[in-house]
Amino acid sequence: MMQVLKRWGLGAISLLLTVSLSFACSSTADESSVTSNTTDTRPVEHAMGVTDVPAVPSQVVVLDTAPLDAAIAMDVIPIGAWIDETFPAYLGDRTDGMVTLGSAGQPNLEKIAQLQPDLILGSKVGGEAVYSQLSQIAPTILTEGNGREGNWPEQLKVYGDALGKRDRVNQLLAKYQQQLETVRQQIGTPEDTVVSVVFSYQNHFGFYSHTSFAGSILKDVGFARPTIQTQPISATYLSVVSKEAFQDLDGDVIFLLVNDGEDTLTYEEFAQDPLFSQLSAVKNGQVYPVLTEVWTAGRNILAAQQVLQNITDALAN
């Protein structure tokens, strides 16, 4: 589940030479276009320092689903994205025609350069190792985290600053607060409900803690969490547990993360398992399957809105 980020060595040098030659051989018209796009700039503070970006970026590349989600929410459609395998279905047709830029753990620098972006958005988690190469292609803005540890609103603000859309960000976050209040009213007393977020992956099992992306939203609503899920034992945002410790997964309600592949348990497989079937949430019919791509991969405002909708669909009175 956890992607191993590859460091760049000679391969990066080779790609960087290709990038340099590409720019050196550009036509005069292309050079004029780049110059005109970058004449008006403004400074943006981010995890790597302060970078001047175009006043109105028009050719944006993103390095993860989190900035992709954020950009689309701000009505900016990136020309390319480095994502894991496929675009999230919850983003709908807004990713149609978007170029993919490498496989998991390895953005394709040459392919990024060929798109001639005027702005690159990402995080240190996936972009720090190649930041210098990316910065030679286009101004690159990286956030400190990638939303997995629940700090997605701060990252949304950084992306908003980079895109010149801070007013739009404020509107989105205000709408999120309104949605939270609506969910609280529909549920009644969320603080009286203990909610567990459970994952399975290739015969491994565990939970997402209160500091995860999904956990931050549950906290915003006001739900209680199982004690063990507020004290993760192996990581800051998720913990793997042995199947024998299956009681650590229980709660009044379980949101079970599933996807369309064969590497996670289906709701039926989970509910019919000899051990998991003993959980009180299973016995009481309070297990709700939700999509991994939304609850763990989206990690920004559109995914957060969808999480709130899932909660409402499951628990609203």
pLDDT at 72: 98
In this predicted structure, the answer to whether residue 31 has a pLDDT above a threshold of 70 is no
Give me the phi and psi of 207, to 5 degrees please: -140, 160
Strand, helix or coil at 194? strand
User: Could you tell me the CA-to-CA distances from 254 to 23, 197, 235 in Å, in that order?
Assistant: 53, 6, 20
Tell whether the model's pLDDT for residue 241 goes beyond 70.
Answer: yes
Q: Please, which residues bridge with residue 291 across strands?
A: 258
Whole-angstrom distance, CA of residue 272 vs CA of residue 265 = 11
Q: What percent of the chain has pLDDT over 70?
A: 86
Instruction: Write down the pLDDT at residue 236.
Output: 79
Average pLDDT of the chain? 88
**pLDDT number for residue 279:** 98
pLDDT at 2: 36
pLDDT of residue 7: 29
Average pLDDT over residues 168-182: 98
Which residues on adjacent β-strands are paired with residue 54? 41
pLDDT at 9 over 60: no
Residue 83 DSSP label = -
State pLDDT tens for residues 107-165.
999 999 999 999 999 999 989 999 999 999 999 999 999 999 999 999 999 999 999 99
Q: Which residue has the tokens 């297990």?
A: 287
Digit-coded pLDDT (tens) for 244-291 = 999 999 999 999 999 987 789 999 999 999 999 999 999 999 999 999
Per-residue confidence band for 36, with pLDDT thresholds at 50, 70 and 90: very low
Residue 102 has pLDDT above 90, yes or no: no
**pLDDT tens-digit profile of 42-54?**
999 999 999 999 9
- Give the phi and the psi of residue 27 in degrees, each rounded to 5: -75, 165
- Name the pLDDT band for 308 (thresholds 50, 70, 90): very high
Q: Are 317 and 188 in contact (CB under 8 A)?
A: yes
Residue 225: Cβ-neighbour burial (10 angstroms; 0-12, 13-18, 19+): buried
Q: For residue 173, what are the contacts with CB-CB under 8 A and spacing of at least 6? A: 153, 156, 301
Alpha-carbon gap, residue 311 to 161, rounded angstroms:
30
The dihedrals phi and psi of 197, each to the nearest 5 degrees, come to -115, 115
pLDDT on residue 24: 38
The CA-atom distances, in angstroms, between 164 and each of 48, 97, 134, 151, 168 are 19, 24, 20, 21, 9
Determine the pLDDT at residue 182: 98
Confidence at 11, pLDDT banded by 50, 70, 90? very low
- Strand pairing category for 204-208 and 140-143: unpaired
d(CA 202, CA 263): 5
Read off the pLDDT of residues 206-227 as tens digits, 9 standing for 90 and up: 999 999 999 999 999 999 999 9
Is residue 123 within 8 A of residue 67, CB to CB? The reply is yes
Radius of gyration of the chain (CA): 21
What residue ranges define each of the domains in the chain, with the CATH number in brackets? Answer: 10-164 (3.40.50.1980), 180-315 (3.40.50.1980)
